[in-house]
Amino acid sequence: MSVAIVTGASRGLGLALARALAGRGWALVVDARGVEALNQAAAELAERTRVVALPGDVADEAHRVELVEAATRLGGVDVLVNNASFLGPSPQPRLGAYPLGVLEQVYAVNVLAPLRLVQLALPLLADANGRIVNVTSDAGVEGYEGWGGYGSSKAALEQLSNVLAAEHPELKVYWVDPGDMNTAMHQEAYPGEDISDQPPPEDSVPGLLALIEADHPSGRYRAKELVPQP
């Protein structure tokens, strides 16, 4: 049974991807900060596959170690999906007024935590010829006003991914932009606005599955360009 670690899997894209992997028979290690939402997601996933749900913050080292140890008990790590992200303040402040203490938290979750999880999982991934999927954003390559904190953290994640791909040609390393989605975090970025016209996160899942299951070379991808759109 293949094993995937999916962070931030209690809602949104992480949960949608976990559901799809469960339906394909993958064993899962999932996490989220919200205990109740994670428990609900885990109960649903457990009806279809083996799942270990660990509430916690990916910025916490003990929690990261716990995630990799849980995957080891399931048999290893075939895929590491770094999906958990921290938006920062809502609404987003301009960089000239961005509180640096909060920016450190954004980088801790969006940059340092994914890298550290890769470091911890690397021996297991190497044994499995595994795959790393780092979920990024168009804000990591475009200069959107008010998105300097989150966007620069995703830009850093993209370059980390790029270097990891160069350093580990034996692995598949992907950094993937899922596109705009109707998620809680997207709503947090636009408080008070109606985002009901945005597509659900399930629309981005086929592209992620294409990276996980097909044989694309390491690199940056847009999820919705990987599969034909209706």
Helices (H), the chain: 12-23, 35-45, 61-74, 100-107, 113-127, 148-167, 184-189, 205-213
Active site residues: 150
Q: Is 202 exposed, middle or buried (0-12, 13-18, 19+ CB in 10 A)?
A: middle
Q: Is 40 exposed, middle or buried (0-12, 13-18, 19+ CB in 10 A)?
A: middle
The closest of 151, 136, 137 to 94, measured between CA atoms, is 151
Residues 6+ apart with CB under 8 A from 66: 54, 56
Q: What one-letter code names the amino acid at 28?
A: L
- Whole-number Å distance between alpha carbons of 180 and 201: 8
CA atoms within 13 A on the CB side of 57: 9
Residue 152: CB atoms within 10 Å: 20
The order of strands in the sheet holding 131-135 is: 51-55, 27-32, 3-6, 79-82, 131-135, 172-177, 219-222
- Residue 173 pairs in a beta bridge with 132
